[in-house]
Structure 1
């Protein structure tokens, strides 16, 4: 069990991750979906992971099937896109890579790849990052808007808990494996330690692909990161109709969902991903902007689009504007 001693500076700066971390989710999912029980609850994701297994084999070989993962593979930075997350991982000092992998591989049989990775061989990091990129595209990208919406819905629910019950209620209701005994947060994780908060606050990260147990990352000068499992969202709508498509139209709904995914969403890229012309993508973006669901700004010669808070609420299943 992990005991995490939290001070006032941490408790007054509790916040949730703004959205799922693309690379962090890949790392967790590549481990979690190897568990038959979780794979059975998310059969579409599990099927795509199996189909992509040949091109993402480095993830299975270089990461343990369950338990502790090296902290540098779940970075604080790089939440905006897969490329940004990979860049953050690549910036990890060699000494830290070696130290964390030595702990991770302590109970695993040695292999040439693992020995090279422990030695911070750049080719092994390249191999793993290529597998991360392919895994996101093949396994997670088709469900990313759904995962993002589920994240938002969970955060909104916990925000109401905080309003109703304060810090005590929030921390005690996160997960059965997390217990708040002021000033100690007890966490049944994959490892045991006595830790002290950094004084930089706490970032809570709910994840349907987080695995079976919560995880904790404490580093000096950074907020404490607490990643904890939440129920998996349904992979298919409960009815055959798509309420968002009924409200906005099929293509416009797809444009909105595309904008919930990580990345730099120019008009050209939206059109390419949705399969429509640039002019049509521009018209749909303008209509969504007029409805208050999208913000747009010109960056260089391109117009970049992103969801507004109302657009995020709509994708999370709440069509009402947030209360002021």
Structure 2
């Protein structure tokens, strides 16, 4: 668990990034490409990405150094995700190129404690050596080939989440915004308890917190490893499964109908989903979602449980097997 400690000043300085950050999306997408996680959300992209990599030698070469620096789990150097400014990929890569040598050395030394690094990585940032520029070029080539074709879809998914967070702030203020991060995080004033793979405490100490919605972030939020950097919390947004459903075998749609299939796929896309999250992702009204979930629950495809004032839904093993048979999961 990550415990983020707020002061009263921090609560006045909670912000939400208005658009997807290219480098955070890039780093998270490399993890999704390597692990096969999220077959419902990322399976189509992963298959297309591997086809592109097989045909595009430049993109294939660009991925190799990224794999060396971006493990699927564990520590990832913070210099790969410089401060989020909204300036796009060019601004992010420019900030990356200006990373101080001392910081590069410290972060790469920490990375080397968990995995062997190639010799070129140790030369990053050395005077007269443009290895850092070459790394920035690899990041740009990867982005152009594997993310740029999908950027409108990514931007839309993030924009939908930003709209939701904005309405939440207008209706209920910062407290409602933080409470609205459930089930990814739980607000226990003055601490935000975040689902996280390790035990950490982050004291904001008046610096505030930037929330960064991300398409390729998966299951749980992530944050910078160095507590001395400007605090950010990157969290996954809801993914719309309808585009996946339209590309899959239509047998499950003939059985359940397109809307109910989309609802089941969204419920199965994470460890749990609230009714409002499913409604937002699928794009139908709350009463309709409630009805569709009740039908799926009666059929043994969805299980629901109450957690405080929320009702959380998850696909049952039978529901997951049905999706798997239709080609919604298990595809790497």
In 1: Cα distance, 2:176 partner to 2:71 partner: 34
Alpha-carbon shift at residue 40 of structure 1 (Å):
4.9
Alpha-carbon shift at residue 191 of structure 1 (Å):
3.6
SS in structure 2 of the partner of residue 37 of structure 1: coil
Quote the residue 1:54 is aligned against.
Answer: 60
Quote the residue 1:152 is aligned against.
Answer: 159
In 2: Cα distance, 1:104 partner to 1:209 partner: 22
Contact 1:210–1:227 (CA<8 Å) still a contact in 2?
yes
Q: Give the direction of change, closer, same or farther, for the CA distance of 1:40–1:67 in structure 2 (3 Å limit).
A: farther
Q: What does 1:17-32 correspond to in 2, within 5 Å?
A: 17-32=17-32
Q: Give the direction of change, closer, same or farther, for the CA distance of 1:120–1:112 in structure 2 (3 Å limit).
A: farther
Contact 2:212–2:232 (CA<8 Å) still a contact in 1?
yes
Alpha-carbon shift at residue 97 of structure 1 (Å):
1.2
Alpha-carbon shift at residue 189 of structure 1 (Å):
2.4
Quote the residue 1:93 is aligned against.
Answer: 100
In 2: Cα distance, 1:96 partner to 1:145 partner: 34
Alpha-carbon shift at residue 221 of structure 1 (Å):
7.9
Quote the residue 2:87 is aligned against.
Answer: 80
SS in structure 2 of the partner of residue 162 of structure 1: helix
Q: TM-score, normalised by structure 1?
A: 0.65
Alpha-carbon shift at residue 26 of structure 1 (Å):
1.1
Q: TM-score, normalised by structure 2?
A: 0.64
Which consecutive unaligned segments of at least 5 residues does structure 2 have?
54-58, 248-282, 284-332
> Quick check: 134-143 or 77-86, which moved more?
77-86
Q: Give the direction of change, closer, same or farther, for the CA distance of 1:79–1:101 in structure 2 (3 Å limit).
A: farther
In 1: Cα distance, 2:10 partner to 2:200 partner: 18
Quote the residue 1:183 is aligned against.
Answer: 190
Q: Give the direction of change, closer, same or farther, for the CA distance of 1:31–1:113 in structure 2 (3 Å limit).
A: farther
CA RMSD, Structure 1 to Structure 2 (Å): 2.8
SS in structure 2 of the partner of residue 65 of structure 1: coil
SS in structure 1 of the partner of residue 164 of structure 2: helix
In 1: Cα distance, 2:99 partner to 2:67 partner: 21
Q: Give the direction of change, closer, same or farther, for the CA distance of 1:48–1:128 in structure 2 (3 Å limit).
A: farther
Q: What does 1:28-47 correspond to in 2, within 5 Å?
A: 28-47=28-47
Quote the residue 1:246 is aligned against.
Answer: none
For residues 278-308 of structure 1, the C-alpha deviation after alignment (integer angstroms, 9 at most, x for no partner) is: xxxxxxxxxxxxxxxxxxxxxxxxxxxxxxx
Quote the residue 1:129 is aligned against.
Answer: 136
Tell me how many residue pairs correspond in the alignment. 240
Q: Give the direction of change, closer, same or farther, for the CA distance of 1:171–1:105 in structure 2 (3 Å limit).
A: farther
Contact 1:3–1:195 (CA<8 Å) still a contact in 2?
yes
